[in-house]
Structure 1
Amino acid sequence: MRELRVTMMGSFTLTDGREVMRYPLLHRAQSLLAIILLAPERSLLRESAAESVWPDAGADASKRAMRQALWQIHHATDAGLPESARLVLSDGEALRINPERPVLVDVDVFADAARQLRVVGPDGLTDADVARLARAAELYRGPLLAGCYDEWCLAPRARLDDRALTLLDALSRAAERQGQLDAAIGWAQRLLDVEPAHERTHRRLMRLYHRTGDRTRALRQLHRCRWTLQHELGVDPSALTEELGAAIGADLSPEAVPLERVPPERAPVLPAPTSPGGRVAALEAFRAELAAVRLSIDAIGEQLRDAPA
């Protein structure tokens, strides 16, 4: 039995490992298969699936639509296979992916790489880690189920985009540490394709371009950053970005300007008590501390009086 491969980052595709399936799924069938594959343990209650994929349909209409979508999935993925080998199994009130069917999902591979990155951290990546993350990054071809605007996919789409930003940023940092400036630039550009207003990445590109000797391109990146932040968010670049631009404009070393400032540590501020009982307790504690201080002062005074002149 050949491995089934499902691509959900960008456009939805379904292949049997060699070619695109002969019978492509319609939009709702794609959504149904996707939501089951993305569910924990690849299992989802029928009712939850119906409410997510057909939110505006009544109970009877959503049941009919689900039967049609399941038939499409069966027709596209189970040709020539016994019923026990079907891709989507129905267990009473739940729909689940058959654990006996080998299925490779691009989102799962990408999520595994993101989890690995969280474990080792961006500064602890080995060459093997970087290679694995790079392979995962190549799978990201766009937002989850591009063209699908159903409410159910918005949250997983946002999580996937966040993972893409983290992964691409780590790859750019790793390449820069290794002196692979062209690769670092490429990963940073990919990140801006996902999030054009990512200001820190604009700064990284400015610095990378300057390191390659292309001051003109570095300054153009500053202008692009200004334009993007204004049009996307209605804000100006931070003082740090402008400081970096000024250093590059003066042909000074931009290495002295950090990519981000670490805020100074602040002393913890204890919350003020809000309830009457809390205020009374706080006042009593303050009085006790004040009494202790007074005793200490009195003791010191007695010692001074008793001390020989």
Structure 2
Amino acid sequence: MSHDSPVPEDIVERSASLRLLGEAECRCDDGTVTRITDARVATLLAMVALEGGMPRTRAADLFWPQSGSNARTNLRVLLHRTQKTFDLKLFTSGDVIELAPHIRVDVQAPDHQLVMSCLSAGAAGLRLLSSLELPEGLTEAAHWLAAARNQMEQRLTRSLIAWFERAGEAVDLSQAMALAEALISLNPLSEVGYQELMKALVAKGDRSAALAVFERCRKELQEHLGTHPSRTTVELHRQILRSRAEGQQLAAVGRLIQRETEIEQITQAISRRRVVIVEGPSGMGKSSLLRHVAQERGDLYWRITEQDSSRPFASLHRITLHLMERLRAQPGQPAENLAKAERFLEQLDPAHSREMASPASTRSLLESAIHIIELSRPERSTAVLVDDLHLCDDESLDVLSALVTESAALMPWCDFVLAYRPMRARRRLRALCEKLAASGRLKLVQPAALTVASVQRMLNEDGSTLAPKLVEDAVRLSGGTPAILMGLLQACQDQGSLVGVPTPAMRSLLLQRLGSCSSTAEGVARLASVAGGSFSVRMASDITGLSSWRVAEKWNELLLAGVFDAKGFAFPLLETVVYESVPETVRQFMHGEVAAVLERHGATPAELAHHWRMAADMARAADYERRLTAGDASPAS
């Protein structure tokens, strides 16, 4: 049997590392890095690395199945050209293709190294030959590559789960959150990643973000499998709710920045007997604002939780328990008052929920609620501030709506301030707002985004030495969203830069906004993140098949959720998070769809080169890049 010609003498034997996970590349020990752009070469390297030596005849048949006797020649030319390009001996000589002994490959690394790679690249960055696809007609090789990618994802999943099992409680929280997100990215229908992320967020003290992760899990399972989270995940969720409820009333009021206008609006509206509605998307500081006002005025603040939407009258039942504690704490409180409160609690028991559904029963509950609030209020006019009203169960909301709308007549000594997220408001809550607006009693307060000037003033008061440029970047990236901006400023303080953001906690908080929208609106947002500055209503209509009117409707939905503004994404970090939430394979396909539409609409070569490259269509990308190099920046026709 004849052997292929030996490797030319000018190709040296030197050590190098092959990266096949993510963007394929060859990195020599002298620092030289060369991308591997030929899908045949990259796939052959993966085959030999994962399965060992391969006969040359077998390789030739795999990659040139229709070439007959020319297949072996094609293989020889390809291997020779590749090694000349890298100036490196990659393969041994002989009838069996094997990697040269001085070549190291990332797919052969031990599991713990792969886990650590997830911290820097993320799970999406560890997809086998992520941006390469084999030419059409190589059916057997394509099937092998698909199976190998699946096996690598399974290996990564097993490795990550094993890491969490070994880590136990002595775990670095930042690492745990990053690896849990990687696990979710690999398998969004497995609950282990969600569970570990919830645990890490709770350990960090961010219960709200942990609850948002549960909602992500629940929504994913419902939409794709039609099932609910397992008993383990549900119990973890309940534990978080219990711990959040226990600490809720003792929570310290955080420092307020640039909220003088909103505080003035609320206090003036209360003095004029108007009902205040504070609305805004997650992270805008509604809770801090309400707690501050309640503390300054000595009023009652109550925050509704996810747990309160679980059964009829759950919200009313829990706030009544709290009012009873206030009653017991008041010296000289008559026993009959406590007895009335106990009877009210009995009415709210789930066993009586059907009996209490009639209008007459609602009236009875209303009168009892008024009595309890009056007993527990201070010796003056007061206000009740209810936070996260969008989580209230419908039955409690009916009673609360009657309290609010009739408070001028029934409770002249009590005013109301209600806060909620617009996109999570159900029909009953929207009806309440409409009724208040029609009566002229509604005062709408929308917390404003923080400005560079107000943040800089706060930092100066604290004696901070952060560079003004970092502060400006943090405000721009976050759009002035307080919850996100404070995290960015902390990152600047800790490491002197914004490297490593968004953190998993920020990502979870921002995805709450997208998660409150319909699946169609989510799709429009994800398309916009891929299209970037090229996005338009016309493009969305062409790609999704929706009418321009329907796309505009979804845009408005995203605007209400705080995902979009009038021009596109509300702020850059939100666009980044939405883009990264799109699985890499889907993202690649979407870039191709965007590029095809842009070609029809006449986009610039720079736009088209970018999108075709991100779609892994290197030939089309190269064509537009040549036009740019030649100085032709005119739109494609």
- Normalised to the residue count of structure 2, the TM-score between the two structures is 0.32
Query: Does the CA-based 8 Å contact 2:195-2:236 persist in structure 1?
Result: yes
For 2:117 and 2:22, how far apart are their aligned partners in 1?
A: 14
Gaps of 5+ in 2: 1-12, 135-141, 246-637
**Within the alignment, does 1:35 sit opposite 2:47 as a pair?**
yes
Query: Does the CA-based 8 Å contact 1:8-1:107 persist in structure 2?
Result: yes
Aligned residues: CA RMSD = 2.8
Counterpart of 1:144? 128
- 1:222-252 CA-to-partner distances (Å, cap 9, x unmatched) read 1100122234444322233223223322337
Counterpart of 1:301? none
Counterpart of 1:91? 94
**Within the alignment, does 1:216 sit opposite 2:208 as a pair?**
yes
Q: Could you tell me which of 123, 144, 148 is aligned with 1:156?
A: 148
**Any idea what SS the aligned residue of 1:5 has?**
strand
Matches within 5 A, 1:93-132: 94-99=96-101, 102-109=102-109, 113-114=110-111
For 1:19 and 1:73, how far apart are their aligned partners in 2?
A: 15
Q: Shift in Å at residue 70 of structure 1?
A: 1.3
For 2:227 and 2:57, how far apart are their aligned partners in 1?
A: 44
Query: Does the CA-based 8 Å contact 1:14-1:20 persist in structure 2?
Result: yes
Q: Shift in Å at residue 51 of structure 1?
A: 3.6
Task: Tell which has more relative contact order, 1 or 2 (C-alpha 8 A, sep 6+).
Answer: 1
Gap change, CA 1:20 and 1:214, over 3 Å in 2: same
Counterpart of 1:256? none
Query: Does the CA-based 8 Å contact 1:175-1:181 persist in structure 2?
Result: no
For 1:225 and 1:187, how far apart are their aligned partners in 2?
A: 16
Q: Shift in Å at residue 90 of structure 1?
A: 3.7
Residue type at the aligned position of 2:199: R
For 1:65 and 1:170, how far apart are their aligned partners in 2?
A: 44
- 1:193-247 CA-to-partner distances (Å, cap 9, x unmatched) read 2222221221222222223222211110111001222344443222332232233
Residue type at the aligned position of 1:172: F
Gap change, CA 1:73 and 1:217, over 3 Å in 2: same
**Within the alignment, does 1:68 sit opposite 2:77 as a pair?**
yes
Query: Does the CA-based 8 Å contact 1:52-1:152 persist in structure 2?
Result: no
Query: Does the CA-based 8 Å contact 2:49-2:107 persist in structure 1?
Result: no
Gap change, CA 1:145 and 1:251, over 3 Å in 2: same
Q: Could you tell me which of 169, 174, 178 is aligned with 1:182?
A: 174
**Any idea what SS the aligned residue of 2:98 has?**
strand
Q: Could you tell me which of 197, 201, 205 is aligned with 2:189?
A: 197
For 1:234 and 1:48, how far apart are their aligned partners in 2?
A: 45
Give identity over the alignment, percent: 26
- Normalised to the residue count of structure 1, the TM-score between the two structures is 0.62
**Within the alignment, does 1:20 sit opposite 2:33 as a pair?**
yes
Gap change, CA 1:232 and 1:6, over 3 Å in 2: farther
**Any idea what SS the aligned residue of 1:177 has?**
coil
Residue type at the aligned position of 2:78: A
**Any idea what SS the aligned residue of 2:33 has?**
coil
- 1:89-130 CA-to-partner distances (Å, cap 9, x unmatched) read 3423x222233xx11111111xxx23xxxxxxxxxxxxxxx7
Equivalenced residues, count? 221
Gap change, CA 1:219 and 1:108, over 3 Å in 2: same
When structure 1 is superposed on structure 2, of 189-198 and 30-39 the one drifting more is 30-39
- 1:26-68 CA-to-partner distances (Å, cap 9, x unmatched) read 222222233223332xx111232234334x4242343343123
Gap change, CA 1:28 and 1:179, over 3 Å in 2: closer
**Within the alignment, does 1:48 sit opposite 2:58 as a pair?**
yes
Query: Does the CA-based 8 Å contact 1:175-1:183 persist in structure 2?
Result: no
Gap change, CA 1:96 and 1:211, over 3 Å in 2: closer
Query: Does the CA-based 8 Å contact 1:172-1:185 persist in structure 2?
Result: no
Q: Could you tell me which of 208, 221, 229 is aligned with 2:221?
A: 229
- 1:129-179 CA-to-partner distances (Å, cap 9, x unmatched) read x7x565454576321111336212222222221221122223334444214
Query: Does the CA-based 8 Å contact 1:50-1:66 persist in structure 2?
Result: yes
**Any idea what SS the aligned residue of 1:97 has?**
coil
**Within the alignment, does 1:8 sit opposite 2:8 as a pair?**
no
Counterpart of 1:249? 241
For 1:15 and 1:222, how far apart are their aligned partners in 2?
A: 41
For 2:171 and 2:103, how far apart are their aligned partners in 1?
A: 38
Gap change, CA 1:133 and 1:178, over 3 Å in 2: farther
Gap change, CA 1:233 and 1:52, over 3 Å in 2: farther
**Any idea what SS the aligned residue of 2:243 has?**
coil
Residue type at the aligned position of 1:97: L
For 2:61 and 2:32, how far apart are their aligned partners in 1?
A: 32
Residue type at the aligned position of 2:46: A
